[in-house]
């Protein structure tokens, strides 16, 4: 079964540092998403990406965040200057259409110290 893969599985970074979280969506999918889940909290939408541009973003996705699809397979989330409150699980997801089920990756646990 095809799957979304994310790397690294766990990243520890110092406050103020930049981090890049990587995702390889399912190969024939066209819609890509990032979600995050702070420990014990709900899964929260960050951003959706289609046709090489952001199609929607939440209020969480401020200027510190950016997404990129640098080549035909990877989809990255960059946090420019991490804060303690950015510590969370970050999930990448993809779907072949905005109306169909989204497939989620296993997540990257980001710990900001």
Partner 1 sequence: LAKTTQPISMDSYEGQEVNITCSHNNIATNDYITWYQQFPSQGPRFIIQGYKTKVTNEVASLFIPADRKSSTLSLPRVSLSDTAVYYCLVGDDRGSTLGRLYFGRGTQLTVWP
Binding site for partner 1 (CB under 8 A): 4, 31, 33, 35, 42-45, 48, 50, 55-56, 58, 89, 91, 93, 95, 98-107, 109
Sole residue written with tokens 């990448």: 92
Reference 25, options 57, 62, 50, 61; nearest CA is: 50
If the CB atoms of residues 61 and 112 are measured against partner 1, the closer one turns out to be 61
B/e letters for 38-71, b = 16+ CB within 10 Å, e = fewer, are eeeeeebbbbbbbeeeeeebeebbeeebebebee
Which C-beta is closer to partner 1: that of 34 or that of 79? 34
Min dist. Cβ of residue 49 to partner 1 (A): 9
- Total residues belonging to the chain: 113
C-beta of 47 vs 112, nearer to partner 1: 47
Select 67 or 81, whichever has its Cβ closest to partner 1.
67
The secondary structure of the chain in percent helix, strand, coil, rounded to multiples of 5, reads 5, 50, 45
Please report how close the Cβ of residue 12 comes to partner 1 at its closest, in angstroms.
16
């Amino acid at each position: 079964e095809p799957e979304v893969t994310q790397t690294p599985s766990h990243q520890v970074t110092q406050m103020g540092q930049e981090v890049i979280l990587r995702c390889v969506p399912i190969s024939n999918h066209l819609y890509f998403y990032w979600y995050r889940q702070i420990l014990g909290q709900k899964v929260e939408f960050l951003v959706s990406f289609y046709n090489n541009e952001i199609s929607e973003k939440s209020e969480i996705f401020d200027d510190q965040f950016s997404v990129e699809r640098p080549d035909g397979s990877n989809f990255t989330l960059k946090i420019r200057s991490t804060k303690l409150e950015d510590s969370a699980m970050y999930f990448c997801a993809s779907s072949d259409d905005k109306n169909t089920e989204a497939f989620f990756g296993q997540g990257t646990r980001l710990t900001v110290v």
